Amino acid sequence: MENFYYEQPVPIDFGVGKIKELPSILEKFKAQNILLISAPSMVRNGMAQKIMDAAKGKIKAIFSDIQPNPTVQNTDQCVKVLREHNCDFAVALGGGSILDCAKVACFVASTTNMTEVYFTKQQLISQKGIPFIAIPTTSGTASEITNVSVLTDTVHDIKAPLASDFLYPIYALIDPTLTVSCPQKVTASSGLDVIAHSLEAFYGKKHQPYTDMAAEYAAKLAFENLLIAYHEPDNLEARTKMSLASVTAGMAFNLTQTAAAHACSYPLTQNFGVPHGEACALTLPIFWILNSTGPEGKRLEEFSRRLGFEDAKDLANRIDEMKKEMRMRMTIEEAGVTTSEDLELLVANSFAPNMKNNPVEITPDLLEKLYKSISSIHS
């Protein structure tokens, strides 16, 4: 019997209409000076104001100056607002970028430093920050239950994850109705991120029985419901299944971390501007096929068949069909990689630490070949 360790320290409160319970949850935590950290879209559609009104004066301000792929400057601004209002609690309402910004800002605000000390200078995060509730409005990153935040330092041109058990939200409130307003492109990209999290947690070197179980359930839900949610944004059942898929995939990859497709996604986003989930999905099928020939091959073939596919290749093809149907980028050229210099840069920047988590060892030469296999010139 193998040895493993599993934990998921964030309470998961899930259900349609759950957002209505937020005031009583805030009451339970005895929060007094709350900052609402949210997205500009949630301010525009009135949701932020609704939450403020329901909190009966306990939410002192809204901070929404956060861009997609949040920057160190965004977290520092948020830290300043948390300190200005002497906040003892925060509510983070938004997609992965908002939740990632909140995680780091709530910690940094409880210190005398700014973000750079922990992100660029890599001082250890060794204490609890300001507690916060995470409320996702997309189905993708599962940031509401993970201990990692991905930030971008635009000055030093770095996009990297910052992880610590002190970055966990204190509570995850997941209400699928909040994802109904999610634009079609975001639904597509974040849904593909869920599939990437599931498959990478399954083949990643750190997989274990409980993460396998979560990964398989999440993948099944996402394969069955993503296209429905994409074509019928108001279909609450499909939205609910995608919310469930997202958080369940989080229960897997929070322990296993991600692997090769995510490592490749960082430069595709940072250097070529491809949205996160879409960037992961660009290489996901080729890594699934490659890994099905490696040491985990038998497990991947069996997983594919249990999900109703003929074999691993059939599952990989299905991802490509879904990408096509949702008008996602299919080739490296469509992703903006058009010259040999671009390809060189892409290969060089694809070796984040999670690349080592892939069961088949990836060398720069092999990676170049893999990228060329999804080039429109060679295919």
Facing residues of 171 across strands? Answer: 133
Residue 200 contacts Zn ion per CB under 5 A: no
CB of 253 to Zn ion, least distance (A): 8
Question: Taking the CB of residue 165, how many other CB atoms lie within 10 A of it?
Answer: 10
DSSP string, 70-97: -BHHHHHHHHHHHHHTT-SEEEEEESHH
Query: What gap in Å lies between CA 39 and CA 64, rounded to an integer?
Result: 5
Q: How far is the CB of 122 from Zn ion (least distance, A)?
A: 22
Q: If binding means CB under 5 A, how many residues of this protein chain bind Zn ion? A: 1
Task: Specify the residue, 193 or 296, whose C-beta has the smaller distance to Zn ion.
Answer: 193
Rounded CA separation 68/228 (Å):
25
43-51, 57-65, 187-195, 285-293 -> range binding Zn ion (CB under 5 A): 187-195
Least Å distance between CB 276 and Zn ion?
6
Which residues lie below 8 Å from residue 156, measured CB to CB, with a gap of 6+? 120
Residue 9 to residues 95, 132, 206, 250, Cα–Cα distance (Å):
21, 14, 19, 12
Judge contact between 102 and 78, C-beta under 8 A: yes
For residue 69, report the phi and psi dihedrals to the nearest 5 degrees. 55, 70
Residue closer to Zn ion by CB (options 91, 284) is 284
Nearest residue (CB) to Zn ion, 34 versus 252? 252
Which lies closer to Zn ion via its Cβ, residue 62 or residue 167?
A: 167
Q: What number of other Cβ atoms are within 10 A of residue 357's Cβ?
A: 21
Contacts 24+ apart (CB under 8 A), 222-227: 222/191, 222/194, 222/195, 222/198, 222/249, 223/195, 223/307, 223/318, 226/187, 226/188, 226/191, 226/192, 226/194, 226/195, 226/322, 227/322, 227/325, 227/326
Q: Per CB under 5 A, which region of 65-73, 126-134, 185-193, 289-297 contacts Zn ion?
A: 185-193
Q: Give strand pairing partners of 174.
A: 14
Taking CB under 5 A as the binding criterion, the range among 120-128, 188-196, 298-306, 349-357 that sits at the site for Zn ion is 188-196
- What is the largest distance, in Å, between two alpha-carbon atoms of the chain? 61
- Interacting residues of 20 by C-beta distance below 8 A, sequence separation 6+: 54
* Residue of minimal Cβ distance to Zn ion: 193
> Based on CB atoms, which residue is closest to Zn ion, 277 or 359?
277
Stretch of 10-18, 118-126, 186-194, 371-379 contacting Zn ion, by CB under 5 A = 186-194
**What torsion, rounded to 10 degrees, do the Cα atoms 229, 234, 236, 240 define?**
40
CB of 46 to Zn ion, least distance (A): 29
What do you get for the CA distance between the two ends of the chain, in Å?
Answer: 44
In the complex with Zn ion, which residue's Cβ is closer, 75 or 146?
A: 146
State the nearest-atom distance from the C-beta of 195 to Zn ion, in Å: 10
Nearer to Zn ion, 129 or 250 (CB): 250
Nearest approach in angstroms of CB 61 to Zn ion is 30
Q: Which of these segments, 19-27, 189-197, 302-310, 316-324, binds Zn ion (CB under 5 A)? A: 189-197
**Binding segment for Zn ion among 55-63, 78-86, 193-201, 243-251 (CB under 5 A)?**
193-201
Q: For Zn ion, which is the closer residue by CB, 257 or 304?
A: 257
Q: Which CB sits closer to Zn ion, 59 or 145?
A: 145
Contact flag: residue 278 with Zn ion (CB under 5 A): no
Q: How near is the Cβ of 280 to Zn ion at its closest, in Å? A: 6
- Give bridge partners of residue 150 from the DSSP assignment: 161
Least distance (Å) from Zn ion to the CB of residue 150?
8
Beta-carbon contacts of 68 under 8 Å, excluding residues fewer than 6 positions away, are 97, 275
Nearer to Zn ion, 141 or 292 (CB): 141
Indicate whether 193 belongs to the interface with Zn ion (CB under 5 A). Answer: yes
Footprint of Zn ion (CB under 5 A): 193
